[in-house]
Structure 1
Amino acid sequence: MNERYSQATWDARYRESDRVWSGNPNPRLVEHVTGLTPGDALDVGAGEGADSVWLARQGWQVTALDISPVALDRTRTHAEESGVTVATVQHDLLGDAPLPGSYDLVSAQFWHPPLDRFADFRDVLGAAVRPGGMLLVVGHHPADLSTGLRDGHGHAELLFTPEKVAALFAGDAWEVRVAAAPTREVAGADGPVTVTDSVLLAVRR
């Protein structure tokens, strides 16, 4: 298995500090899910649980999925401290087992699969969306390379455009409602930096 995606790699990363992420929900999740009728949601690559907790606060029944049990421990702690219920599942997205259950919403925020598994956005994540449900994919856009923020990741080839993801969902089985590359400002070493997100929102017919 590619070590970048292994449990050992992510466990080690989470153990490096008490908090890896900001603790705030991803802004594109908030943008596209606020106001929707809650149902069952799967938070893919849940990390420390900020998105899962936000969804639960909106009334969703949330399953937080991650390869790292260290991350899921933090998700459970965050949920308990926030007074909400979040189920957790340890799962290897690149393994052979299908995702557990089917959902009204599957959210994948900044999961960048290896090039030979790019179709897993459809074949693995999409398969977990029930008819009438939604898949929300958000990732780093190749335009971010010009900001210098992504250079340190060393995996420029994994960045993708919304058009590349949308092409996976062409046909009668899905309705692509959003395929966009909006920008936002983040804090950089020398001040605010404009970054670009690749956003896909598709509904299973």
Structure 2
Amino acid sequence: MDANAWDERYGAEERVWPAEPNLWVVRETSELPPGRALDLAAGEGRNALWLARRGWSVDAVDFSPVAVRRMADLAERQQADVHAELADVTRYAPQESAYDLVLLSYLQLPRQDMEGVLDTACRVARPGATLLLVGHDISNLDHGIGGPQDLQVLSSTDQVTAAWEPYADIAVAEVARRPVGDAAALDTVVRAVRR
């Protein structure tokens, strides 16, 4: 989907995603000491706002003007330290070695674009920083529920670990079962620590 399609989707509903953060983001970051975080493709900002409530200073980027406005409004109302920025993450060039946490949550891109964003995540993470990707796993197509139905944009632990292993130590690389009603979605969860 392009930015216009996401704008239409965000504009059609008061809230597209739940207000609470993603459960894998909570599981993988709750024990981290607060610092500076970058949330790439932040959408309405549910993860960014949760991190800010935990003491993080968050730069949150998305290419949907509607989502960025919504996120900025929520951050202002909650007095949260979230800087919402309008940008396409495939072309975004944040400051290198500037972040203690770089988060990619359900950013579903074609392989070549995703490889570029995974590389950017490594470059902008400080030594010792956490890299976290949560995405719809390729196995979800046949064995899970929901998510994109396009094989070209689904993630895998192999894809992410291959991109991050030259720069970071992989701490978690799993296909996790996320409850969706009585069924389950299958998510790629990869957490790494930048060397």
> TM-score, normalized by length of structure 2?
0.91
1:194 aligns with 2:177: no
1:40–1:103 CA contact under 8 A, matched in 2: yes
Q: Aligned residue for 2:178?
A: 184
Q: Aligned residue for 2:22?
A: 26
SS in 2 for 1:125: helix
Q: Deviations over 1:121-167 (max 9, x none)?
A: 4322222211211110011112222356347x341332122122101
Question: Residues 148 and 104 (structure 1 numbering): CA distance in 2 closer, same or farther, change over 3 Å?
Answer: closer
Match of 1:85 among 81, 84, 89: 81
1:98 aligns with 2:96: no
Amino acid at match of 1:185: P
Aligned length: 194
Give unpaired runs (5+ residues) of structure 1.
none
Q: Aligned residue for 2:51?
A: 55
Cα separation, 2, equivalents of 1:18 and 1:100:
33
1:121–1:165 CA contact under 8 A, matched in 2: no
Amino acid at match of 1:159: L
Cα separation, 2, equivalents of 1:41 and 1:162:
22
Cα separation, 1, equivalents of 2:119 and 2:151:
23
RMSD: 1.8
1:155 aligns with 2:150: yes
SS in 2 for 1:93: coil
TM-superposed CA distance for 1:38, in Å, is: 0.5
1:140–1:198 CA contact under 8 A, matched in 2: yes
Q: Deviations over 1:26-57 (max 9, x none)?
A: 11110011021110001111111111110011
Question: Residues 193 and 131 (structure 1 numbering): CA distance in 2 closer, same or farther, change over 3 Å?
Answer: same
TM-superposed CA distance for 1:13, in Å, is: 1.9
Amino acid at match of 1:162: T
Moved more, 125-134 or 103-112: 125-134
Which protein has the larger Cα radius of gyration, Structure 1 or Structure 2? 1
| Percent of residue pairs identical | 35
TM-superposed CA distance for 1:92, in Å, is: 0.8
Cα separation, 1, equivalents of 2:140 and 2:30:
26
Moved over 4 A (4+): none
